[in-house]
């Protein structure tokens, strides 16, 4: 199958390398809005201007869209879904349904397949919430994120007057995880499950006390959270806070039984040295699924909930039954 990449940031680079680990995919090219000559691909993929994309339509089985969820994907996915099979990682949770509807219409019109919101949350974490609830309907689930950088929170700090650079880590409360695992039945919100640690570079002469207060009181982002703020130099920021590691876990705790009641715990955990590389690897697996669904004649928009696991793996059913079931 022949794959194209739209966008060459961290995610696009991750998709490029993830494809190199597959046996059944060929990377046709990277398509960019920038000057293609200004981009040097990590593993010598040809870089094209996005303007040439439609000319190469017949050479591409699936297009993996690697733009951002705020500005790029709401336009790009529905635009390309009409003429290509597409996969994206749209991750603004409360707007996924609108995105789904818009992309679905385009895919149906163009008789193509699209799979949206592919990643780990939304994505593999969502799947584990679904499997957990389906198997243990009498229970509760808990999702923890981190330790890892939240781009949204980092951006929010950078907008404060006097701030030059900032990095926010979301960190799950280990004591809450321990309580849940030990069987306690907690009704708690995200604010009690996570703390926030911020590293901030400020302009010389800034009032750091004021900035710290402004961060801690910021509604939605920090208010109500246990937040710590560290002021550091730009050198320290560059040296210690540029890594892209992340992770988290989903728990489902449920009770089964009639005469006797039994506690059952399902736990799913990711420990990632590179968040974008991992998300990219998931996108590539679902690109395989999109290709196979399209070959079956299916059309329209799908989510990871709609894709049977067998479509994701290189091997055929017989081998999968023998080796993995």
Site for a second copy in 193-222 (CB under 8 A): none
User: Of 130-149, which residues contact a second copy (CB under 8 A)?
Assistant: 130-131, 133-138
Q: Where are the alpha helices (DSSP H) in 111-258?
A: 124-135, 151-158, 174-181, 190-193, 208-216, 234-240
Asked whether the beta carbons of 30 and 48 are under 8 A apart, the reply is yes
Q: Which of 100, 142, 144, 222 binds a second copy (CB under 8 A)?
A: 100
Judged by CB under 8 A, which stretch of 60-68, 107-115, 126-134, 185-193 contacts a second copy? 126-134
Rounded-to-integer distance, Cα 30 and Cα 52, Å: 11
- Token pair for residue 242? 């540029």
- Quick one: 13 or 196, whose CB is closer to a second copy? 13
In which residue are the tokens 């030059």 written?
164
Asked whether the beta carbons of 206 and 234 are under 8 A apart, the reply is no
Q: Is 300 left (phi over 0), alpha (psi -120 to 50) or beta?
A: left
User: Of 222-261, which residues contact a second copy (CB under 8 A)?
Assistant: 254, 256-260
- Quick one: 67 or 122, whose CB is closer to a second copy? 122
Per CB under 8 A, 152 contacts a second copy: no
Q: Which of 59, 70, 97, 164 binds a second copy (CB under 8 A)?
A: 97
User: Of 57-96, which residues contact a second copy (CB under 8 A)?
Assistant: 93, 96
User: Which one, of 56, 73, 70, 65, lies nearest residue 12 by Cα?
Assistant: 65
Shortest Cβ 19–a second copy spacing (Å): 10
Shortest Cβ 160–a second copy spacing (Å): 32
Per CB under 8 A, 316 contacts a second copy: no
300 membership: H or E segment, kind and range: strand 300-302
Per CB under 8 A, 113 contacts a second copy: no
Judged by CB under 8 A, which stretch of 53-61, 124-132, 155-163, 198-206 contacts a second copy? 124-132
């Amino acid at each position: 199958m022949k794959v194209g990449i739209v966008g060459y940031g961290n995610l696009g680079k991750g998709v490029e390398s993830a494809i190199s680990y597959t046996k059944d995919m060929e990377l046709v090219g990277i398509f960019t809005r920038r000057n293609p000559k200004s981009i040097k691909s990590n593993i010598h993929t040809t870089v094209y201007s996005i303007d040439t994309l439609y000319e190469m339509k017949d050479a591409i089985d699936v297009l993996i869209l690697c733009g951002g969820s705020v500005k790029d994907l709401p336009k790009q996915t529905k635009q390309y879904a009409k003429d290509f099979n597409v996969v994206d990682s749209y991750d603004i949770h409360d707007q996924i349904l609108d995105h789904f509807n818009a992309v679905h219409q385009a895919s149906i019109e163009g008789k193509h397949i699209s799979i949206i919101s592919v990643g780990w949350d939304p994505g593999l974490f969502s799947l584990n919430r679904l499997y957990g609830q389906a198997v243990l309907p009498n229970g509760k689930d808990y999702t923890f994120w981190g330790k890892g950088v939240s781009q949204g929170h980092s951006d929010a700090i950078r907008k404060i007057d006097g701030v030059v650079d900032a990095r926010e880590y979301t960190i799950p409360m280990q004591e809450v995880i321990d309580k849940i695992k030990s069987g306690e039945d907690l009704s708690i919100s995200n604010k009690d499950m996570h703390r926030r640690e911020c590293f901030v570079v400020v302009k010389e002469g800034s009032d750091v006390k004021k900035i710290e207060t402004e961060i801690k009181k910021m509604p939605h982002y920090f208010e109500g959270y246990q937040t710590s703020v560290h002021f550091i130099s730009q050198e320290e920021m560059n040296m210690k806070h540029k890594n892209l590691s992340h992770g988290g876990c989903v728990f489902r705790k449920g009770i089964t039984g009639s005469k006797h009641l039994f506690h059952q715990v399902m736990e799913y955990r990711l420990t990632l040295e590179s968040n974008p590389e991992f998300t990219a690897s998931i996108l590539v697996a679902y690109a395989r699924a999109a290709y196979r669904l399209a070959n079956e004649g299916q059309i329209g928009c799908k989510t990871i909930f709609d894709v049977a696991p067998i479509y994701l793996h290189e091997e055929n059913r017989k081998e999968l039954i023998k080796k993995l079931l």
